[in-house]
Amino acid sequence: MLRSCAARLRTLGSRRTRVPPPGGGPRGARRSFASEEVIDKDHALPNPSWSTDLRFLFDQFMKKCEEGSWKRLPSYKRNSTQKFQDFKTHYVDPKLLKEEQMPGAQLFTRSFEDGLGFEYVMFCNDVENRVVCFFQGGPHLQGMPGFTHGGAIAAIIDATVGTCAFRARGIVMTANLNINYKRPIPLRSVVVINSQLDKVEGRKVFVSCDVRSVKEETLYSEATGLFITLDPNKKLT
């Protein structure tokens, strides 16, 4: 059985890595340690930029976590989770790894300063094959004046349905993303992305979602995603 979400939260708020300090010596080690602290911060936790709405939804689902049916998903700037380690080991041509290890590579949806870009937290329910994402778009995600960019909405939808597919079937890549934009999303407002696994056909994983206002009365977008589970015998190049 999983530990309760609250217990996980206490241990997952920060991560320890075993990466050796790049600079060497005590001074380099100190700099490296400081850097790791920032890199390994779990960003799927409240920060001062979160609105009352986002905080409310977070608290509501943290209670569901304590009941055991839902689980909060931590989220980091660096792709150093087991999922990404497995991807690098089994699915990608080693010649690409050097490229990936360049300084500064960060997960797109976590590459903004707190409050400026994608503020979000995802919760999963692995029994019901669902992932819920609470998302607040910051001022650096603007499209037309006053509204969130359609590309930023596509990005957080891709992240959510991709996570839903991953929870069900392991490492996948997006094959198709089809988004209907019903209404523009005002910048800085909070939306709820509700995704669920629809079906699995061989290596194809079908997921869908809708994007609604906090009280669910406004439908902003609907989307479907098709994901393909990767074949370790066919390395990505």
Of 126, 125, 100, 112, which Cα lies nearest the Cα of 75?
Answer: 112
Residue in 96, 126, 203, 231 binding a second copy, rule: CB under 8 A = 96
Set 42, 93, 158, 198: catalytic member: 158
Nearer residue to a second copy within complex by CB, 11 or 106: 106
Residue in 70, 135, 162, 169 binding a second copy, rule: CB under 8 A = 162
- Stated length of the chain: 237
Nearer residue to a second copy within complex by CB, 2 or 144: 144
Q: Which two three-digit tokens encode residue 150?
A: 């359609």
CA quadruple 215, 210, 81, 110: dihedral, nearest 10: -70
**Over the range 177-200, which residues count as b (16 or more CB within 10 Å of their CB) and which as e?**
bebeeeebbebbbbbbbbbbbeeb
Nearer residue to a second copy within complex by CB, 132 or 187: 187
Please compute Rg for the chain using Cα positions: 18
Smallest distance, Å, CB 195 to a second copy?
14
User: Quick check: 186 and 153 in contact, CB under 8 A?
Assistant: no
Burial class (CB in 10 A: 0-12, 13-18, 19+), 171: middle
Smallest distance, Å, CB 184 to a second copy?
6
Catalytic-residue membership of 158: yes
Q: Is 17 in the site for a second copy (CB under 8 A)?
A: no
Annotate each residue in 119-158 with x if it binds a second copy (CB under 8 A) or - if it does not, as one string. Answer: --------------------xxxxxxxxx-xxxx-xxxxx
Footprint of a second copy (CB under 8 A): 79, 84, 87-88, 92, 96-97, 99-100, 102-109, 111-112, 116-117, 139-147, 149-152, 154-159, 162, 171, 173-181, 184, 186-188, 236
Q: State the catalytic residues.
A: 158
